[in-house]
Structure 1
Amino acid sequence: MSSRLDQVEESATLRLADMTNELKRQGRDILSFNLGEPDFNTPSNIIEAAEKAMKTGKTHYAPAAGIPELRDAIAAKLKSENTLDVSGKNVLVTPGAKQAVFYTTFSLLEEGDEAIVFDPGWVSYDACVKMSGGRTVWVKSNDDGSLPEGLPKYVNKRTRLIIINSPNNPSGAVLDKKDLRLVADLAKDHGLFILSDEIYEKIVYDVKPVSIGSMIPDRTITINGFSKAYAMAGWRIGYAAAPKAIFQNMLKVQQHTATSPTTFVQYGALAAITGPQDSVESMCRQFRERRDVVVKGLCDIGLPCEMPRGAFYAWPKVEGSSEKWAEKFLEAGVGLTPGSAFGPHSDDHIRMSYASSMSDIKKGLERMATVTGGMEGWTKKQKQK
């Protein structure tokens, strides 16, 4: 067996989702708040565009980097919305944003190189770094999700890459210009690259994220996709914009692995990015309503929680092992993800996705209250409403 996978664990979020689904198949009444997948249907105009593409013969191989129309549309979006001066020639369309993350680490890291990942951070960053021969250096974020002033001390001669994710999965934090300038200055001073994962950029509340690529374009790989904003998780379609040399290496990896993204799916993505955006706005409004209920409910039952400014996750604090808490909640019929999955400093949190119906959210909070002992406070709050 290949030794390069010895230090890579399976995805905790997918593993727990599988466990939850297995319990459901066994007849258990489980409410799942594990996966980061919008519970909305893909907008009809996107489905119709993909259907039309299939019916008109768009079922053959596509260009390895993606169809030109989509690459150009993505470049136009990045220019108008993110202030990134890129052309379609430097946009790589990928089978999901996760694939773009791996292409980046695989293209940049030599054996033993280090990549800085902020804790809490998405579970697959560490795995992608390790599978690329690198080593993850975890840096604990501040409690509000901002970056620590002591970040420069983690940079050394082996540091090659800094990975940022704003809005953040799992905390929902959004980095401000001060944080981004700190990272940009480090990259410039030490010749580092930045992977900016912006997959949740359109799911925000009273804040507009800034793309760090607008500050330091020659050192930034900007990654995004369609799964979250357009409820297209199962379509597996994402993209990356990168400096020319890095783009060429990422393209090589795609050519020799996935070949290209699914052809007709790209026409659906084209309709998403160029068509009406009202479905995105409607989804965000509902996520905001759910967020407010979830955060209040968690605090009411004794689980302190910062207010997320983006994405669709709550990140409440717990005392003791997050895995043991997750097990207790699962016994009560609620599937959650332990904070330990998101970094070595996050075992005192759990992640709750509120990409679920409001009725399920309220039922889930009631069940969680039986575990925390906060049922009395929760019931009182509900009666007052």
Structure 2
Amino acid sequence: MSDATTLAPTTSVLSDRINAMQESQTIAMAKMARELAAQGVDVISLSFGEPDFQTPQYIKEAAKKALDDGFTFYTPVPGYLDLRQAICDKLQRDNNLAYKPENIVVSTGAKQSLANTVMSLVNEGDEVIVFAPYWVSYEEMVKLAGGKAVTLMGSLENDFKVTAQELEAAITPRTKLIMYSSPCNPTGSVFTREELAAIAEVVARYPQVHVLADEIYEYINFVGEHVSMAQFEEIKDRVITVNGFSKGYAMTGWRVGYLAASKEIACACEKMQSQITSGTCSIAQRAALAALQGGRTSADEMVEAYRRRRDLVLELVKDIPGFRTPTPSGAFYIFPDVTGYFGKTTPEGKTINSAYDLALYMLHDGHVAAVDGGAFGAPNCLRFSTAAADEKLREAFIRIKHSLAKLA
């Protein structure tokens, strides 16, 4: 008998790693909405974090020119030098951060920049403090790296923002990394300079702790100043700043993001990327360069539309009892607490026990897709994207109001 026949059978052909990983709930809800729409149902999807604007024309033209100019070959793993220099110029201009191209790694979307960083820093058993509510993929990235995600929930009364005191109480000798976003997906909360300065003071006292700052919504800010954690000089070398082009330039499908970090960490992320994807798409990089060279005018025009839509939705939500909805300071979401509907019963006799139950009910009864807050570490909430046309938003929340009124 061979050795192979004596081995105990496995329960799955798939790895433990992939079996432990959760599917992205934003993608899962969008998939359910598409399946319903394919059956002829008029579904309004407010589940996906995607601008509904077209990429500005000057960026498209740059991509066409790149094709004509022969940019059809492999690119350097960390990105074209001129693009990395343009990112440095942007960081200096907008964020008062001084970096060289050697500190920049361009990736296939900000998501890859986040994953590269986590995989480069986190060892088996390391603790990663994740400010919650958090973007859906943070916790799964930590699990993939073998780390332990320690979620730290900000209170609704503080616009879901974690305080410096709460952070310090959560740090242990095993803490390696802190992850957060500002403006935040899903809450739209924006950390002030004073709040981040207090957090930086805490981090400065723990030399083993690094900070992964997700700033992908930087330009979609309704309160003015955007503050980068790396502006605090005492911890700058331990801060990894991640940003990209998807939100501010309506370039979701182009898949271009980047990180700025110390040379040691940037080199580690480049090494990781070299074994996973190599360099980002050549045409998309030339488009990204044009985006930066074109300034912020198109982004600022989109932000005004997002501000108007936020205000519209907040007015509509006032007519829906049971939604506790803080006013978002950035991004393009609202994130109401919906616990007022837990325990209620649908017309079919099914009890609403969670935000997920409520999201499914609204999808099938009102034909509006939202995302269960449990995917973001906040199971009492729902996330609605406001990145939709005004008439779609009005119709969606009229449907939601009518569906919720049926619950007993």
TM-score by length of 1: 0.95
Q: Match for residue 287 of structure 1?
A: 306
**1:193-229 superposed Cα distances (whole Å, 9 cap, x missing partner):** 0000000000011221200001021110000000000
> Are residues 374 and 224 of structure 1, via their aligned partners in 2, closer, same or farther at CA, if it must alter by over 3 Å?
farther
Within 5 Å, which residues of 2 pair with 1:217-228?
217-228=236-247
SS in 1 for 2:177: strand
SS in 1 for 2:123: coil
Q: Match for residue 383 of structure 1?
A: none
**1:151-188 superposed Cα distances (whole Å, 9 cap, x missing partner):** 21211111100011000000000011232123322322
Q: Match for residue 77 of structure 2?
A: 64
Q: 178, 182, 204: which one pairs with 2:194?
A: 178
Q: 1: CA distance between counterparts of 2:295 and 2:20?
A: 44
Could you tell me which amino acid in structure 2 is paired with residue 280 of structure 1?
Answer: A
Asked if 1:43 is matched to 2:62, the reply is no
Q: 2: CA distance between counterparts of 1:276 and 1:129?
A: 34
SS in 2 for 1:6: helix
Could you tell me which amino acid in structure 1 is paired with residue 329 of structure 2?
Answer: R
CA RMSD, Structure 1 to Structure 2 (Å): 1.3
Q: Match for residue 378 of structure 1?
A: none
Could you tell me which amino acid in structure 2 is paired with residue 327 of structure 1?
Answer: L
Within 5 Å, which residues of 2 pair with 1:1-385?
1-143=14-156, 144-148=159-163, 149-191=165-207, 192-215=209-232, 216-302=235-321, 303-319=323-339, 320=342, 321-331=354-364, 332-343=366-377, 346-373=378-405
Check conservation: 1:298, 1:316, Cα contact below 8 A: no
Could you tell me which amino acid in structure 2 is paired with residue 179 of structure 1?
Answer: E
How far 1:276 moved relative to its partner?
4.2
SS in 1 for 2:205: helix
Check conservation: 1:193, 1:219, Cα contact below 8 A: yes
How far 1:269 moved relative to its partner?
0.2
Check conservation: 1:145, 1:175, Cα contact below 8 A: no
Q: 1: CA distance between counterparts of 2:19 and 2:367?
A: 33
How far 1:80 moved relative to its partner?
1.3
How far 1:146 moved relative to its partner?
2.4
Could you tell me which amino acid in structure 1 is paired with residue 169 of structure 2?
Answer: K
Check conservation: 1:84, 1:217, Cα contact below 8 A: no
Check conservation: 1:67, 1:266, Cα contact below 8 A: yes
**1:2-32 superposed Cα distances (whole Å, 9 cap, x missing partner):** 2223332010000110110111111111100
> Are residues 70 and 374 of structure 1, via their aligned partners in 2, closer, same or farther at CA, if it must alter by over 3 Å?
farther
How far 1:340 moved relative to its partner?
0.7
Check conservation: 2:102, 2:266, Cα contact below 8 A: no
Check conservation: 1:237, 1:269, Cα contact below 8 A: yes
Q: 2: CA distance between counterparts of 1:267 and 1:183?
A: 37
Stretches of structure 2 that go unaligned for 5 or more consecutive residues are: 1-13, 343-353
Check conservation: 2:95, 2:227, Cα contact below 8 A: yes
SS in 2 for 1:360: helix
How many residue pairs end up in the alignment?
A: 373
Could you tell me which amino acid in structure 1 is paired with residue 392 of structure 2?
Answer: D
Q: 2: CA distance between counterparts of 1:121 and 1:225?
A: 18
- Taking only the aligned residue pairs, the percentage that are identical comes to 39
Which structure's CA Rg is the greater one? 2
Q: Match for residue 348 of structure 2?
A: none
Could you tell me which amino acid in structure 2 is paired with residue 87 of structure 1?
Answer: K
Q: 1: CA distance between counterparts of 2:96 and 2:319?
A: 41
SS in 1 for 2:111: helix
Check conservation: 2:153, 2:160, Cα contact below 8 A: no
**1:270-296 superposed Cα distances (whole Å, 9 cap, x missing partner):** 000111422111111111110001112
SS in 1 for 2:187: coil
Could you tell me which amino acid in structure 1 is paired with residue 335 of structure 2?
Answer: W
SS in 2 for 1:221: strand
How far 1:122 moved relative to its partner?
0.2
Moved more, 147-156 or 203-212: 147-156
**1:233-269 superposed Cα distances (whole Å, 9 cap, x missing partner):** 0000000001111111100011111110001110100
Could you tell me which amino acid in structure 1 is paired with residue 239 of structure 2?
Answer: T
SS in 1 for 2:27: helix
SS in 2 for 1:79: helix
How far 1:374 moved relative to its partner?
9.4
Check conservation: 1:167, 1:173, Cα contact below 8 A: yes
